[in-house]
Amino acid sequence: MPPKGRSPKSPKPAAEPQNAREPGRASKLSEEERALWDSVTRNTEPLRKRPHKTTPKTPAESEDTKPTPAKPRVRTPVPVIATPVRKAKPAPPTLGHGDIADLDKRSAERMRRGQLPIEATLDLHGHSQDAARRELAEFLARAQGAGKRCVIIVTGKGDIARGSGVLRTQVPRWLNEAENRARVLAFDYAQPRHGGLGALYVLLRKTREPR
């Protein structure tokens, strides 16, 4: 037993071998361990890194990753409707006194002789040119609309040498204007009993007659 008043001494720890690892320091190998390690590593080949295998993408996945090309805009052509070209009707020939281009000879002869019944009369005495021209167009339209065929236009003889026979010169021209010409078949100087050179027989087209 230890003497009284003294605590027993704790046994000293056994000394660690010199080749034991210390934290923070590399371990030391003995010559036998080193020779053994060299013999092991001499016949050992290092492992090769395996290439990373990538899973091939399916066609659908590949197409998804590609940008979708924009579809070109297709313009719908506008249908072209061919419009039939209508041939313009030739303008009727200019009428002169006694011309019968659209009239049969028998009717023309009766008109010239004053044998057709006179159904209406227009007297242009005292009218200015503008007023006479307007009155003539309105008179012909009313007469044709009423179904009349032969009418008389009184112009007066006047004195052409002195410039007083203006209406006698202008009325035949106005009768050939498009609006009036479409209604007139023929005209000629009247017989003396109807005014002679100071009046005109005017034969109108029938309302239903094609122009």
Determine, yes or no, domain membership for 177: yes
pLDDT value for 100: 78
Contact 139, 121 (CB under 8 A): no
Which range marks the domain in which residue 186 is found? 122-204
> What SS3 state is found at 158?
coil
Position 62 in a domain: no
Read off the pTM. 0.55
Give dist(CA 187, CA 111) in Å, integer: 8
Listed residue (103, 109, 125) closest to 195, CA to CA:
125
Residue 123 is predicted with a pLDDT of: 96
Q: In which region does residue 5 sit, left (phi positive, over 0), alpha (psi from -120 to 50) or beta (all else)?
A: left
The three-state secondary structure class of 185 is strand
- The answer to whether residue 61 is domain-embedded is no
> DSSP letter at 142?
H
Which H or E run contains 121?
strand 120-123
pLDDT digits (tens, 9 = 90+) for 123-179: 998 899 999 999 999 999 999 999 999 999 999 887 656 656 899 999 999 999 999
107 lies in some domain? no
* CATH code: domain of residue 174: 3.30.1370.110
Structurally, the chain folds into a number of domains equal to: 1
